[in-house]
Structure formats: C-alpha cells, structure tokens
Structure 1
Amino acid sequence: MKIQSKRWAKSVAIVLVASTVASCGVLPRSGPNKSEIFAGSVQQSGDAFVVSVNDRVTRATAVQPTLGFSDEFKNAGLVGSDTIRPGDTLGLTIWENVDDGLLAGEGVNQTVLQEVQVDGAGFIFVPYAGRIRAAGNTPEAIRRVITSKLDEQTPDPQVEVRRLAGDGASVSLIGSVGGQGVYPIERPTRTLSTMLANAGGVTIQPEIAQVTVIRGNMRSKVWFQDLFNHPNFDIALRDGDRILVEEDTRAFTALGATGGQARLPFPSPTISAVEALAQVGGLNTNTADPTGVFVMRNEPAEIANQVLGRTDLIGAQRVVYVLDLTQPNGLFMARDFAIRDEDTLYVTEAPFTQWSKVISALTGTLGAVGSVSTAGDTLSGN
C-alpha cells in the first residue's frame, strides 16, 4: 500500500511540472520572435509594412541629412581686418603743402582732428571734404576719399586715418570650442576654419561636430570635417556672425539578441546596419537568429511610396525592414543599408533558444520534484 502511495505521489508531481511549464505561455526572452513581427504586418491586418531589404530598397532609403551653407554664405567675400563700423571713433591728421592752408593756421601745415565719430548711418564729416561714407570701408579707403576731396582745394594734401576706438568687425563663438568668446576678424582669421582654430579648435570628436553660423535672419549648418573636404564651405566671416559648435544629436536604439542593448549616438555622419550592430558588440552568438535582423522606423510618405511601389500613402508610415545575414549577399545588404535617426535595430532569438529554455526549465523543475519526492519518501519512512 505504501509503494502505491509513493508512485502515485511521484506521478502527480510530474504531471504538475509538465502543466506548469505548459501553462507558462511565454518563456523569458528579449522580445517578439519573427512570426510575431510578421503577424503585425499590413498584409496580416497589422499596421506596419514589412519589407525585405534588397538593392532597390537600400537605394531608396539611403537618405541622410545634408548639411551645407547656402549661396548667400558661400558667395560672401572676405572682410578686411580693419573695416570701420558705425560708432567707431577715428583720428585724422591732414598735412597741407602751403603755409596758409584750408584747415591749418598760418605757419602750421598740420591739422589734427581728434575723435571723429562714425554716426549711426555710417558717415563722418570732414571740413571742406563734406560727409564721407566710413562704415564698411577701411581706413585706407577713407584716406583716399578725403585726399581726393581736398586735392581739389589745396595742393598735394596728405591724410592719415586711424581707428581710435571701436572693436571693428567681430564674431562670437560658443559651444564645443576651446575658448568661447568674442573674436575680432583679423587678417589671419577671416574664414570660418581659421577663426575656429583661433578659438582653440573643437573639443568634441571631429566626425560628429556640426558648425552652425547665424548671420542676421539667416542660419546654416555644416559638418566640421566638410570645411576641409569641401573648400567652398570654408566661408568668409561677417561682422556680427554667431558661430555655434555642437555634437550631432542623432541616435538609434539596439534591442534583442545583440551583444548589448542601448540607445547609441551616431559615431559619424552616416552609419550602416553592420556598423550599428558592431556598436553593440554584434549578434549574441548563443541566442541570435541571423535571419531575423529588423530595422523599424517611421518612414516619410515619399520614401515609403517609393519602397513599396505605391503612390497613395500619405503621412509617415511604420515600416519594418528585414535583413537576412545568412543570404549570400546578406552582409553586403546590411553594409549598404543606412541607419537613420530614431531607428530601432532589433535582433530576434533563434528558435533553438526557446527549446533550450524549455529543456532547462523542465530539467531544473524535475530536479526539484525529485528532491520533493525524496523528502516524501523520508517522511513516509522509506
């Protein structure tokens, strides 16, 4: 009778274990599997388009933010280091080649005009020469104009023009530069790259540095490295320019059976799916399914229509791109497929992984049942 009771207890325990594992429904895992993702496609009454990546898809989706200065910035000429501005104060000295000149008294051939201020309209007044445009000109240009005006009234006048007060043309630099502040536009620093160098250069990785120039109501942005890769982007600076250096803010999220799960910034202006996987340590060799690499994004309508061969889609569309790394050209497709801002890169677990978890769960639980059964035998005196 005791033997039958022990066998009955063991049978009940095994049935309970099997029922427990079966009733778990979903074993622990990193996210949905391939069949669950495909079940969410538009073709199966879901709300996302699932698209296998091929050469046509990589070309249609290879859209990256283009940065560069507009023609207004690129066509601006160099500014002289000594350009006069409204509000500056000038000093003038005029020599006349006569004993009794227009400006100088008898026996004196030199006249000094101190603190001649450039008015708000950019003009100065010089006796016998009249109102002269000063703002936007160099002291040398002003000297030539005054000389020409006076030459009509006194023989061989000699004129000297000096800036006594005023900062001249200057720009302000803020953000990730060696030294933030206001810098004058001088002969060696009349272009964007030389001004940045004068401020100590950029203090972030050059590959992710973006430079924004604000000029009046205009604003334009360029990659820092393009200043050297494309010389026409090394624009001439203007008085009052504001220069901001900041880090690229784009990022993508990696989830699933990868070496690590994280939200990561872009390490360069462009990044491929292969590079994105490398950023998180590649596929997890113990759990990853190389046929189930997905890139999920909200695709603009114009790109979604092109990818899907349609013309009726309006607004952003949820698109899931599928990469199969086991295909003969799978790695090439992943290398050519561009990751974009706010993408989610997800790698599914291999089916074998779930079987391993089931077996582990059964093995571990049955071991526990064996312990319980042994304890039962001990309590029953067997």
Structure 2
Amino acid sequence: MQITPETLLAANRSTFAPKSLPGVFTATAGAGGSLRGAGEIPDTAFLPEGRPDVLETRVPPPVQDGPYTIGVGDVVLLATPQAGNTIEELSGLLAAQNSRQGYTVQDDGAIAVPDVGRVPVAGLTLEEAEAVVFRRLVEAQIDPTFSLEIAEFNSKRVSIGGAVNTPTIAPISLTPLRLDQAIVAAGGITVVDQDYATIRIYRDGTIYQIPLAEFYTQPDLQKVRLTDGDSVFVDTEYDLAKAESYFSEQIQLASFRAELREAAINELQTEVSLRRADMSEARDNFQTRLELDSVERDYVYLTGEIAQQGRYPLPFDRKAVLADAIYEQGSGMANERANARHIYVLRGSPDPREFGSVTAWQLDARNAANLLLATRFELRPNDVVFVSEQPVTRWSRVVNQITPSIINLTATAAN
C-alpha cells in the first residue's frame, strides 16, 4: 500500500499507547511535605512607648468576615428526640423534649459519639459539622433527626489586661468580638490620665495601639474586630514597666514559635534529602535494568539497505515515526545501495490467528517531498522497516559472488 496523505491517516488510526516511564521519574522530592512548625515567623514587635508628645495611632488590619469554625476545646451539644411510652406520646408530654448531650472536641479535632465513633468536626462551620454528623448517623443506621449547637466556646480567645478592673480572657463566639466588648468583659478601664493612656493590641508579633482619647471619640475604633490569639493591654505612662513585662512574655512566645518553625524547616529539608536519595536510587536501578535489557520494551526492527541494521526501541511516553527509526543516531539509509523508491513498513495483524496477514506500507522517497510523510507515519510495536536494494547493487553482488568461482576454475585449468 503506497504511503500517501490519505493512507497515512489509515495507518495511524490503529490504537497504540506508548509505555510510560515509572512514576519516580515525574515525582518531586518535596511532594507531600508540610511544615510542622507554629506558622509564619512574627514580625518584629513594637516596644511599649514612653510619654510622647502625640500618641501614634496604629490600627490592626481588618479581620476577614466569616462563619465561626469549631475548634479544639469547644463543647458541641447534640440534641436528639427522646423516646417515650405511648401514653406520654399521646398526651403530648414528650412534645419538644429532646435528649441533649454535650461533647468536647478533643485534641485530634473529633468528638466521640456513642454507637457512632469519632466524628471529626474541628475546622468546620456549624453547618458543615451538621452534614458530617448526619452522614455518620446514617452510616451507623441511627435516626438522623438531631440538632447541633455549640454550648461552650473554648478554642478561640482574647486576653485583656493592664489598667482594667478585672483582667480576663474573653471567648470568641458565633458573633464577632469587638474591642469595646472585650474591655467591658474586663470590667472597664481604670486609668486616671486618659490623655496619655493607650490601648495596645498584640497580634502575630506586632503591637498596634489606639490612644484612649481617640477610642472614646471614634466609634469605628471602638468596633475594631478582634481575632483568636489577640492580647489587649490598656497602658498608661505609669504602667510602662508592667506593659513591658506583659509584652516581653508575648515576644518570647513569638520567638519560640520562630524556633519551632526553623526546626520544622530543618526536619523537612532532611526528609526531602532522604526522598531525593530514594528517588535517585530508584532511577539508577531502572537505568541499570534498561542497560541489562530486563525492562519490557516495544521495538521496531530495521533491515535491508540501511546503514545499521538492528532494533529500534520505541520511546517512553510518546509515539515514534518512520523518520525516527531510519535516521536514529545518524544511521539513515545506505545511499550507494538503497533504493529510495522501495522503503517498506511491514505490519502484521494483531490477531494471532491471522499470522500470515501482513500489510506492507511503501514510501517512494525519490520525490524528496514524500520524506515529510515519513515524519508523520507512526510506528507500532514489532513493525519491520525494510529498505530494498538498487538493481545495480543486486547485479554487483551476483558478480562478486561469481567472480571468485571463475578465477578458481581458471587457476585450476592452468594448473
């Protein structure tokens, strides 16, 4: 069958998926790694100031709005219908009565529900947690009629200290915690000289401050939203030593977090090095197996008037074409002996019962433009590429075979 643009499409239509390299050649040593530290390294904290001429206002960045997420230590209340006898049900005594049971979110982020097991809820909103509990009740074949609410908020808190009546820790609940609410929770401010008093907010290694005079006159400053881990300290000129001690402890905690992060990075680097060594060994083993010919490969066989007869391994992860096999490593055709008119690709039937069924695709390369078809003709496993010889080459070989016989006969007669 002559190779033409039309027949080329038919030849390439047969299904073939090249063999792929092992996954170790595409994996990276850092895949799956995660830092085990305590988050980002905090920025350099501002130190408490002395009595300045004008107190600087440094408002913390706004906190993004979002629903409350359940955390470790929160108490989740699960209310389910309470069973009763027929008389109680008919009299309506059990109407709206529910069995209410509280569950504390453990350090693994889950609650332990009887007959259901551990249900992970940490990091979920109340709506998401209801969906998870519903699914687990159905899987346990338990009546999924229930309601879920948070009875105690213990996972997200803000500490308030300094010149307040009652230093305290205020929890963050379903509603956002504002600065004025936090100060009220601590019993209010107890400073005398309000002109040089300030409210300092420690967040993520940075100290922000709001002068008390501005706090009282600007409602937007009163409604600054606080977030988990904030520390609020009401400071005056006379309490600078106390403020310094308070924030010194916070800065030490930030330094400790930075050390944890550095240790986590070192651990991750060690893990990456071990993975990289393991992957390198796996790749070297595969390369050795290739060299020892112990890896199953697909081959195309080259014969006839070609510079180097042999087998051409089909590449991994891509398809090879006729030109790849002929010109691999600069071999090409034997120009003096090859007949460019008769370049064949012999392809057998995939059905073993049709062993003698062979399709011969012929490329006429006398027209150099036809060589472009060789760059698009896809090869399949066990194809045989055959390049025919020139007629003169055939005659030359006959002469070379006959000439020694004639010489021998002549020599014999002479003797």
- Coarse TM-score class (shorter-chain normalised): 0.3 to 0.5
Using the size of structure 2 for normalisation, the TM-score is: 0.37
**Higher Rg of the two aligned structures:** 2
Greater fraction strand: 1
